[in-house]
Amino acid sequence: MLGCFGFSGRGLAALVLGIALASPAMAELQVIESNAPAYKVGLTVPNTQVFELKAGERVQVLILPAKLTRVFEGKGSHSLPEPRGGARSATKKKQPE
Amino acid sequence: MLADHLARIRERLARAANSPSERKAVLFVIAIAAAFLLLTTLLHLPHGPEHWSADYRTARWSKHPETQHKRIALVYISEKTLEPYPYLSPTDRQLLADVVKAVDATGPAAIGFDFIIDRPTEPAKDVALVAALRDAKAAVVAGAVNEDAHAPGGGHSYQADYLAKVNRSVGHLHFEGAHPSKVIIVDNVIRLMAKRNTSGTYPASFAEQLAQKAGSYPKPKSEYISWLLAPTDNTETFLTLSAEQVLGKSGGPALPLKDMLNNRIVLIGGNFSDRDQHLIPLSVSDGRRYPGLFIHAQILAQIIDGRSLSTLSIPVQGVILLLAAAIGFWVGRRQTRIHLVTELVSVVVLVAIGILTFIYASLIFPYTGVLLTWLAGVSAGYYSRPHH
């Protein structure tokens, strides 16, 4: 039956497996630095996570599987697709002494 | 049509050559252009008054990469790293040695070590640091400052001894601040990379040396740093880790350091609130200061990405200033009074030229010099009219 489509049973299984492997892995965020009590270092959350931060709080995440770093900081709700300006560098803004 | 125009211009030039007042006008124009060219080159005029607008242009219209830089990573040692240690400065040398070894174990393309080692501390720790840098498998570039800063009078400094023992490439850690001048107020914003200084102890810069370890790249066309803005995916410009994370002391599961740092150029340096923090053009809107390591990374990224900002050569600047003075003079001669609108429009046009040349040609247009020349030309034209 499958032969009429040009597939053998084994070929189809390989195709299905190939598609499954080629699908992008579900992206996750791993908290790698944080001064926010709600988000402890080591916490892993889906990439849809919204980080609710208070003033002065800062969370650095590792985006998996791409292994890129991203920083969320300051009061408000932060998430992966937030508009530009949410994070620029790992350097905290210096407060006047 | 064009021939008619050229003929008219020729006729006017011939008339000008025979008329004392026209001869005076030509002399005015040449003098104005020459004066502002001298001001531009000797006092670095465009770097003075136009700082804010130039920085704004840089911060607004520099390149936003799509994502984090793929070849550079930063590892910072900060006050937080040093919380368990009894002193903050100098940075504990055993800690530095451990960080270098941990980074080296991930198989980086090169390691840049941005710490000035200029005094002895605890002997065993000093030895450990030298051994870590000397024995690293990766190519290492040690940062240093000119010897005269440490050994006035030409003596042999601790830094020189340390570098000799480490036996690795050395790159100087200096940036070019504002051009020294008694006239221009220096604002201490880092806009330029340091020139290659053959008379300095270490002629090549830290970033240049690191780029050489990673491949062969052309030199940037000017000293202006071509800044990378935040990536469009909002990741950090460079993969950034703390020393605690690299040493596995930050809590949580171990990071996949090999995957993160392998084959990258890894820069190790300090991020301390009281030293090596600088204003850069990207600070223009929020006054944020950036660690020296971040600036070295920007210069390195520009070299290995092949990005450059160009400046106009002196002859080309001379021609542009001559044209600005001549057209300004011509406009001034025809005005019955000095119009504010003329001046405002000329400012807007020149700012627009500056932005467009920056975006589309990566060119720094000396707009302040041209503007001042133009305004001087307009004024000279106006006040040299026959009724004056």
pTM for the whole thing? 0.80
Cβ(B41)–Cβ(B314) under 8 Å?
yes
DSSP B276: S
Structure tokens at B68: 């984090």
Alpha carbons B77 and B242: distance in angstroms, whole number: 6
Whether A2 has a pLDDT exceeding 50, the answer reads no
Give the pLDDT score at B191. Answer: 87
Give the domain extent around A42: 28-78
Work out how many domains chain A is built from and give that number: 1
A43 located within any domain: yes
CB-nearest to A94 from B68, B239, B273 is B273
* Residue A79 pLDDT level (bands cut at 50, 70, 90): very high
**Looking at beta carbons, which residues of chain B come within 8 Å of A68?**
67-68, 233, 235-236, 239
Per-residue confidence in pLDDT tens, chain B, 388 aa: 667 877 877 777 677 667 766 677 777 778 777 777 776 666 555 455 556 678 888 899 998 999 999 999 999 999 999 999 999 999 999 999 999 999 999 999 999 999 999 999 999 999 999 999 999 999 999 999 887 766 656 567 899 999 999 999 999 998 876 555 555 555 678 888 877 766 678 889 999 999 999 888 888 888 899 999 999 999 999 999 999 999 999 888 889 999 999 999 999 999 999 999 999 999 988 889 999 999 999 999 999 999 999 988 889 988 998 898 888 888 888 877 667 777 788 888 888 898 999 999 999 888 878 888 888 888 888 877 776 4
> pLDDT of A12-51, one tens digit each?
454 444 444 444 456 899 999 999 999 999 999 999 999 9
The domain ranges of chain B are 26-58+310-383, 64-305
Q: What is the mean pLDDT of chain A?
A: 73
Measure CB to CB from residue B234 to each of A62, A67, A86 and give the nearest one: A86
Which of A33, A68, A94 lies nearest to residue B235, judging by beta carbons?
A68
Nearest residue in B to A62, CA atom: B255
Euclidean distance between CA atoms B274 and B330, whole angstroms = 54
Task: Tell me which residues of chain B have a C-beta less than 8 Å from any C-beta of chain A.
Answer: 64, 67-68, 74, 76, 230, 232-237, 239-242, 245, 250-253, 255-256, 259-260, 271, 273, 277, 282, 286, 288-291, 294
In a domain, A49, yes or no: yes
Contacts of B61 in chain A (CB under 8 A): none
C-beta of residue B96 within 8 angstroms of C-beta of residue B126: no
| Residue A94 included in any domain | no
Contact present, B139 and B107 (Cβ < 8 Å): no
Mutate to test the interface with A, among B236, B250, B280, B282 (most CBs of A within 10 A): B236
Contact at CB, A88 and B282, closer than 8 angstroms: yes
Residue A64 lies in a domain: yes
Q: How many Å is the maximal CA-CA distance in chain B?
A: 87
B242 contacts A89? CB cut-off 8 A: no
Per DSSP, the three-state class of B231 is: coil
Which of B229, B234, B242 should one mutate to test binding to chain A, selecting the residue with the greatest count of A CBs within 10 A?
B234
Residue of A nearest to B283 (CA): A93
Distances (CA, A) of B336 to B20, B381, B382, B387: 22, 11, 8, 10
ipTM of the complex: 0.76
How close is the nearest chain A Cα to the Cα of B62, in Å?
Answer: 14
A59 found inside a domain? yes
